[in-house]
Structure 1
């Protein structure tokens, strides 16, 4: 793996990322931009794989900076992402263009603080697959529509801006892969896991989804989730078959050969 620094300066403390919407974002950023980092994985509510005591009362993910300074720890996925962007400006974790950078930050802020109905109704579980009569409340349906509109508008605004600049459009939300794509990565799982409707999404929005699912670096990250699943300590029971009392819904798991089809 290519290094952006000569040595590993960071340790990411995180719950097993096959369940962690917050942690998987940071892990994908580190992986995509080849930022060297030691990653320590922990089990949620599992004494056999619990995080160190100093992280027990805090929220994970947490990024420890420097092996010798245990007090230099950054919590919260957005704060960690911003720190990494500042530390590695040459990698362009945010878009280079001022306008696209502002649009990307706006989208990330919306994802970071909003869409609570989707978050609270549908637990994150990369392997989980639900079929049948998936519940869709009015408030959830509104958020799903807003999410789809956000993706479609991001791609439309980006295409227009990059054409004005005469620059290449790689097909990610704001051109090249950025923090914004990482922040929407876990919600793509939810759309897949729970068969959430994509009504109203633009053609370019669908192409972005395909770009994410088929990207070689992201596929490597997907392999990591399946490796974690082979470790019994990684299992979080409360995120498995969350509709188990609803006999109209069948629960299963995706396999590694699954392919996104629009």
Structure 2
């Protein structure tokens, strides 16, 4: 298999399936494409790998799967032993709902606070729209952690956690204190756990020295 990803400092959508693929333990080739190039060079570099002209893309034989969530779903089916979704049907449904909400929502947070692993954390004033996103995330995380008992959103690590790992980097990078948005401490501790997983630490270390 080959996973085509974008610049590790910035590409949240690449990070998500990369974490899931790492969790499977399967060997894969990592192809890195530099983002934010001028004059359409980024899209031109990606198009040979991805029909959408966007990263990430997963190649498995003659199959190419694009889109982060689609890649994660493919990996969950291909590697059931990795348990990328919880076995419990109710928790699995909630995990899918949480990942899908991140996939399609929180545009203000994503636009105002892009992931930037190459800069030092700083306290940043955020708009009301982004504050609303943060409050919703705190509510979502709190309810799932309470229901599952943790340590991750639906118990053991899952694709849902892959989808919220870049969110945790945003909270850290922009000095967003979840206690200001209704967190009783559980969400902050969860965000810390996300950023302490061996897979994320490997990605972050590479992000500081690669494209």
For normalisation by structure 2, the TM-score amounts to 0.89
Shift in CA distance, 177/227, structure 1 to aligned 2, threshold 3 Å: same
Tell me the alpha carbon deviations over residues 82-140 of structure 1, each in whole angstroms, 9 at most, x when there is no partner. 011111112111011111101101100111101011011112211323535x2321111
Closer, same or farther in 2 for the Cα pair 1:91/1:131, shift >3 Å?
Answer: closer
Q: Paired residue for 1:213, among 186, 195, 198?
A: 195
The answer for the alignment partner of 1:173 in structure 2 is 153
Specify the alignment match of 2:21 in structure 1: 30
Q: Establish whether residue 201 from structure 1 lines up as the match of residue 183 from structure 2.
A: yes
**Superposed CA RMSD:** 2.0
Match of 2:130 in 1: 140
State the partner residue of 1:153: 143
| CA displacement, residues 57-106 of structure 1 (integer Å, 9 cap, x when unaligned) | 6211011111xx2xx21110000000111111121110111111011011
User: Residues of 2 paired with 1:38 and 1:65: CA distance?
Assistant: 10
Residue 12 of structure 1 aligns with which residue? 3
Q: Select the residue among 159, 163, 168 that pairs with 1:188.
A: 168
Q: Following TM superposition, by how much is the alpha carbon of 1:50 offset from its aligned partner in structure 2, in angstroms?
A: 6.3
Cross-structure match for 2:66: 75
Please report how far the alpha carbon of residue 52 of structure 1 lies from its aligned counterpart in structure 2 after TM superposition: 5.1
Matches of 1:48 and 1:154, distance apart in 2? 38
Taking structure 1 as the reference length, what is the TM-score of the superposition?
0.72
- Could you tell me how far apart the structure 2 residues matched to 1:48 and 1:118 are? 24
Where does structure 1 lack aligned partners over 5 or more consecutive residues? 1-9, 160-168, 229-233, 235-262
How many equivalent residue pairs?
A: 205
Q: Give the 3 Å change call, closer, same or farther, for CA 103–80 of structure 1 in structure 2.
A: same
Q: 2:53 aligns with which of 11, 35, 58?
A: 58
